[in-house]
Amino acid sequence: MKIGLPRGVQDILPEEIPYWHLIEKTARSIFEKYNYEEIRTPIFEYTELFVKGTGETTDIVMKEMYTFTDKKGRSLTLRPEGTPGVIRAYLTNKIYTSKPVWKVYYIGPMFRYERPQAGRYRQFHQLGVEVLGRKDPYIDFEVINIAVEILKSLELENIEVEINSLGCSQCRPKYREALKSYFSKYEDLLSPIDKERLERNPLRILDSKDEKVISLKEDAPQPLDFLCEDCKKHFDKVTNYLSIANLNYKINPKLVRGLDYYTRTVFEITTTTLGAQNAVVGGGRYDNLVETYGGPQIPGLGFALGIERLILLLKQQAKLGIEKQKLLFLAIEDENYLKKAIEISQVLQKNFKVEVGPLEEPLRAQLRLADKIGADFVLIINSSLIERNFIKIRDFKSGEEKNISIDNLIETLNTML
């Protein structure tokens, strides 16, 4: 039996890697400029971390986690998102005792048992940031701005920032109650799972994929109408800063996001080429999450960007100028020059991308391989030239040949490539 690939995961083959490198390099350099440091947290954590943080009535926790028990019977889960692990690391390492503000970024795989489709996988990769210890609205703007800057640097077109506010522990309960009483009127139409959501966490009913609920949502109460004075001020300041920076945004009063920890600002970035539910970036503020995990009262916020989704979009736009390094191929006329070839390759490979041919095989066979693997230039060591300390170089595309001195091989190649 052939062993295939599990559903929803994929190989990232070498041809794809330049996209990954470009995105990672671009994001890293932007993160560093805004004074964020990299963090790498474990791929699996105690299940409880996600149940408590991401939220027990969310789709992620209810349906999508890869959970298993280890040999000692402990329940562990492959991380479905990056935020809980970062907060756990913040608490485990007591960062709050030494740093008033902690700004970190991460890049890595996440796992969700979702129905796979274009741009939605069971193993996917996110890059994101989390900021702990800042409650001011400027930082909400900064976080959104960083996400936009990454997308713009990669020349992604037609991006749209949607923003909303979910209020705080003061005003949220009023909104929850309003939502509950609105949907209670239609209780008979609700599926058992939506009924349970209505009871336990009315906000999550808004994630329902049920057609009836989707149409009921149209007239459902909206969080912006319930904000307290402080939350309203905070939201106005964030949108004002976005305007000052000329960053296009749209207030979407229906945006609630599918994770439980958010307070105040939530945002998503979509492009007009993706369906509405397919955001490329999602994020927001979570002022109570650290406390939920038993830590001090420290505000936080962040975002995560889906790398696969971004690549899909960039490919659709035929963007991404990925430059390929030229490939040199080293061949020899016969085995007498094997030692020389090894010596030269040692120097060459410190400077260029070099494939050394099958040196024991006839020159013809070596050149055939050079052609097949798409070498740009072939360097040939032969008897008439090597005595004068010269080597032949052939441009594989044009067929042009010339002899160059081995003494200034690197300099000459540098000017040619």
> Binder to ligand HAM among 140, 142, 207, 308 (CB under 6 A)?
308
State the nearest-atom distance from the C-beta of 269 to ligand HAM, in Å: 8
What's the angle, vertex CA 25, arms to CA 39 and CA 239, rounded to 5? 75
Which residue's beta carbon is nearest to the bound ligand HAM?
306
Contact range with ligand HAM by CB under 6 A, out of 20-28, 115-123, 232-240, 316-324: 115-123
Please identify, using beta-carbon distances, which residue of 264 and 392 lies nearer to ligand HAM.
264
194 versus 287: smaller Cβ distance to ligand HAM = 287
Binder among 57, 58, 77, 126 for ligand HAM (CB under 6 A): 126
Closer to ligand HAM by Cβ: residue 216 or 269: 269
Asked whether 212 and 238 are in contact (CB, 8 A), the reply is no
Q: Which residues contact 210 (CB under 8 A, 6 or more apart)?
A: 190, 191, 194
Contact of 299 with 102, CB cutoff 8 Å: no
Site string for ligand HAM, 230-269 (x = CB under 6 A): -----------------------------x----------
Minimum separation from the CB atom of position 323 to ligand HAM (A): 27
Looking up tokens 């009315």 gives 202
Select the residue interacting with ligand HAM from 203, 216, 227, 280 (CB under 6 A). Answer: 280
Measured from the CB atom, the residue of 203 and 304 that comes closer to ligand HAM is 304
Closest to 145 in 3D by CA, of 23, 244, 257: 244
**From 52, 172, 309, 394, residue interacting with ligand HAM (rule: CB under 6 A):** 309
303 binds ligand HAM (CB under 6 A): yes
Q: What amino acid is encoded at 207 in this protein? A: D
Residue 64 and residue 114 in contact, taking contact as beta carbons nearer than 8 Å: yes
Contact 280, 154 (CB under 8 A): no
Binding track, positions 74-103, relative to ligand HAM; x by CB under 6 A: -------xxx--------------------
Minimum separation from the CB atom of position 278 to ligand HAM (A): 7
Q: Buried (b) or exposed (e) across 24-54, using 16+ Cβ within 10 A?
A: eebbbebbeeeebeebebeebbebebbbbbb
User: DSSP letters of 28-86?
Assistant: HHHHHHTT-EE----SEEEHHHHHHHT-TTSHHHHH--EEEE-TT--EEEE-SSSHHHH
Count of residues binding ligand HAM (CB under 6 A)?
Answer: 25
Q: Which two tokens stand for residue 349?
A: 């490979």
Indicate if the alpha-carbon torsion angle 269, 319, 375, 389 is positive or negative.
negative
Contact flag: residue 112 with ligand HAM (CB under 6 A): yes
Per CB under 6 A, the list member of 202, 223, 282, 299 interacting with ligand HAM is 282
Residues 140 and 238 sit within 8 Å (Cβ to Cβ) = yes
Question: How many Å apart are CA 192 and CA 205, to the nearest integer?
Answer: 11
The answer to whether residue 124 forms part of the interface with ligand HAM (CB under 6 A) is yes
Return the residue of 55, 137, 306, 357 that touches ligand HAM, per CB under 6 A.
306
Decide if residue 120 touches ligand HAM (CB under 6 A): yes
Please report, as ranges, the residues that interact with ligand HAM according to CB under 6 A: 81-83, 112, 114, 119-121, 124, 126, 128, 130, 259, 279-284, 302-304, 306, 308-309
